[in-house]
Structure 1
């Protein structure tokens, strides 16, 4: 949670990770911090030995000094114009994170997560990209860029023997466009893809603000066989009446509840209720942010349908995901 807190606020702090969990969990946390653009000095498992902590804190400043010149440009965020150019010249890439059926352990889909292969700064995370895109009114262009590449990738996977769904994050503004269903239908046809292979995700809080303007488009999308997913459920202000009106086929439980379900009774209650509610409304329920075996076991016990998170796999390029899939199948 502290990693996400710092990332959301654009922190440039260096971190030392300490936990009573095993080294695998610390490694996942370190990967997550890097994914959010945070700098991790190192990690220590409890009980913490004073000598280890002193060594880490003593060596870290010297290490930082040697790296300072080479990473100075990383401390300044890229600008809006850089993003505009990046969208047009191929620097924006989708990375794909697998989703597994909890009961069968089989692949049920992937979520396309945006990354920026910046020529000087390296691979930049989604949070920074979305912040810039929102500020520059580039969310639509960014989404279309990711969508096009994802459809191409989906076709390539099919030809390589992998048929799966791809979830694409959409802005609420895009669902106000009545032409969206027709445009998507044409794109799917051009790539010889079944509409059932695409899932469009939108966050609960964003959609509920102007739901009336989006209902027509959402209904048309479902009539064309395109699945809809309500993302980060539990963080917005939807009512049961609104949920009943919207033709969603999938509900994703926000990672903040999933990650705390083992230590927080209220978070656990929200996870339980969300799974029950989703099933009663005929939706598939996906839990985000799975990082430990214990969380997986809990979700299996509660009857959650699918899971996504670093415990399964981190986001990866399309060719790596194909290799990952085949390695699990053998």
Structure 2
């Protein structure tokens, strides 16, 4: 039979009829406990027996139907249906056979059937628990131990008080007599322990099942007490409890299982209070031995002591967890390298200080950014850079003393909060900090001089909340860095407007990248020996929906600072290679040059992205040139070199862009796996009029050729400069004299008008 949803299964007419019959039988069983009705049933034993058989058989049938029709938790309900079937079979056999025998045998086959219910019940609870709790923590296991031990302790009191070894009989009779209370004691522990292991959740299915099975266990205990006391009456209230237990179990079976997202553990307070309450109850049970008429069963004492021991261990574990959480909270607010408060702690202190400032009192915030720290870090290594940061933190801490709170905000940036500091005092403290930093640091016999830029903002003059103050201080720090002032005080609205403009541009750029607003313009590169255009440089523009075409000097620094260069570069690469594919389809085998930033070369996944893009657009690697600046030496040069080597092995040509403006070292030219040098326009533009520029260009062309590289000159703006470069055997040129950067369609038209395109001979490429 195909599995149905719970709703469709419950909608079947015969199932609704069965539930209706169940309600009738439940009401009849309750009425049977009323003395007048019970007296009538004593004279009509057949009716009483049929009623009892019908209750057990219908309950088993309804759970079987649930397991057959609904897939969710099927295994658990098959087990429960099997257990109830044995229970019902035992009841039917008892009523039909055993009660008519004289003397009645003990144990009988009915006892075996009743006892068979328990392993099925244990299995059903286990499967339901496993489906709802895949991973159980140590504290939850302890909660389960406490709950199971406490429940079993109280159950053992009910089942074992006053019971002696003689009352169990001998042989098989003893085994069966012991099995009943032991099974119920274990079941009581399993039920409450499983609730604890489920994190005390209150899911309907789970709650109803545990409640029904719990009522059944209570009814068994009452039956045992009544039998031992000789007061048991058929169709009494104990039978009503059994019937109610069956009804609740059936109701649990036909509840719609909640999804994992809907299953929520109980509140943390419940998870703390319930284990404590159970341990307290176990302790009271042990103490009750002093005033009880019968001594507490030994098993009950052991179980209660187990619950208390589990509670003690749980408490110790909780204390340890609290200590770990406290340590984690402290570590999460402390900078690992310097031991100073980190950005999170800094913001907490600042927010609290501002909220407690009523009425507002002057409070200053300073942002300290070390100048040229990356150069120090990359030149001398990260180990020495970390030592320097620790020494900087120590010196700043000594300089600030009790004047404020110092924190490391990240990288080479520090923050200071100064209480009761007006602008004059705040600037004075900032100057003292800067003076302290400017004293040389002795590191491994190297005296390093460190400078810094400090921006200061004061509450309430420059902002009423923490975000405004930090923004103003950050803007002032940029002013100090750009103007080489050292210390700058926020000026209010103007700085804030500039900061907001930067943030707005950055957010618009993020959106623009998502919307594909980048566009490429192409500037031709001419091969001087043949006079033909052999390639183009792809120059990125931002086609802003409101501001129009935005040039890269506006947004590339922001993208670099915000970590967006990876996304931006991959988009540029995609656009350039798509255009290269289209040109190649039209017979224009142009080489396309794309610029990489220094941060791109720290990404070891870049070669894989490039390879995927070349394959996707079916462009050969030799048709792609990648240009990098000398700034790579200011970062992790070893990693950048590894990335460049992998790109070159793919067949992509590499060029050093803006040569002569950066670190320009013959040592790195010898080590870097590059094919071309691209001389900066500052030297090329005036090479026909300035002897110094001419000497630099001519010698650089010779240097490139001697190193087996090609020379590309950019910034060619006159025919005279072009002639000089041709005389010096420069390989490729580009500049406004040839063409400004143009959109792809206009560049294609420009190329067609001049008829200066030719496929590059193989000897030119090498």
The answer as to 2:653 corresponding to 1:227 is: yes
CA contact under 8 A between 1:289 and 1:308: conserved in structure 2?
Answer: yes
Q: How does 1:26-175 map onto structure 2 within 5 Å? A: 79-175=505-601
Partner of 2:666: 240
Q: Residues 263 and 146 from structure 1, CA distance in 2 versus in 1: closer, same or farther, beyond 3 angstroms?
A: same
Q: Residues 286 and 163 from structure 1, CA distance in 2 versus in 1: closer, same or farther, beyond 3 angstroms?
A: same
Q: Deviation per CA, 1:278-326, whole angstroms, max 9, x where unpaired? A: 1111111110011111111111111111110111011111122211222
Q: Which runs of 5+ in 2 are unaligned?
A: 1-500, 757-766
Higher-Rg structure is: 2
Q: Deviation per CA, 1:115-163, whole angstroms, max 9, x where unpaired? A: 1111221111121121221232211211111111111111011111111
CA distance in 2: counterparts of 1:248 and 1:151, whole angstroms: 21
Distance apart, 1:174 and its partner CA: 1.6
Q: How does 1:135-284 map onto structure 2 within 5 Å? A: 135-207=561-633, 209-284=635-710
The answer as to 2:762 corresponding to 1:328 is: no
CA contact under 8 A between 1:172 and 1:206: conserved in structure 2?
Answer: yes
Runs of 4+ deviating beyond 3 Å: 75-78, 206-209
Partner of 2:117: none
Give me the TM-score of the superposition, normalised by structure 2: 0.33
SS in structure 2 opposite 1:312?
coil
Distance apart, 1:77 and its partner CA: 9.7
CA distance in 2: counterparts of 1:302 and 1:159, whole angstroms: 35
CA contact under 8 A between 2:523 and 2:537: conserved in structure 1?
Answer: yes
For CA contacts below 8 A with separation 6 or more, give which structure has more relative contact order.
1
Q: Which runs of 5+ in 1 are unaligned?
A: 1-74
CA contact under 8 A between 2:686 and 2:721: conserved in structure 1?
Answer: no
Q: Deviation per CA, 1:11-46, whole angstroms, max 9, x where unpaired? A: xxxxxxxxxxxxxxxxxxxxxxxxxxxxxxxxxxxx
Q: Residues 231 and 199 from structure 1, CA distance in 2 versus in 1: closer, same or farther, beyond 3 angstroms?
A: same
CA distance in 1: counterparts of 2:739 and 2:578, whole angstroms: 22
CA distance in 1: counterparts of 2:565 and 2:628, whole angstroms: 13
CA distance in 2: counterparts of 1:329 and 1:78, whole angstroms: 45
Partner of 1:301: 727
Q: Please state which structure has a larger fraction of its residues in helix.
A: 2
Q: Residues 104 and 329 from structure 1, CA distance in 2 versus in 1: closer, same or farther, beyond 3 angstroms?
A: same
Distance apart, 1:96 and its partner CA: 0.7
Give me the TM-score of the superposition, normalised by structure 1: 0.74
CA distance in 1: counterparts of 2:600 and 2:534, whole angstroms: 26
Partner of 1:59: none
Partner of 1:288: 714
Cα RMSD of the aligned pairs, angstroms, is: 1.8
CA distance in 1: counterparts of 2:593 and 2:661, whole angstroms: 20
CA distance in 2: counterparts of 1:216 and 1:76, whole angstroms: 34
Distance apart, 1:76 and its partner CA: 9.3
CA distance in 2: counterparts of 1:156 and 1:162, whole angstroms: 9
Distance apart, 1:222 and its partner CA: 0.8
CA distance in 1: counterparts of 2:610 and 2:729, whole angstroms: 33
Q: Residues 78 and 104 from structure 1, CA distance in 2 versus in 1: closer, same or farther, beyond 3 angstroms?
A: farther
CA contact under 8 A between 1:205 and 1:235: conserved in structure 2?
Answer: no
CA contact under 8 A between 2:601 and 2:632: conserved in structure 1?
Answer: no
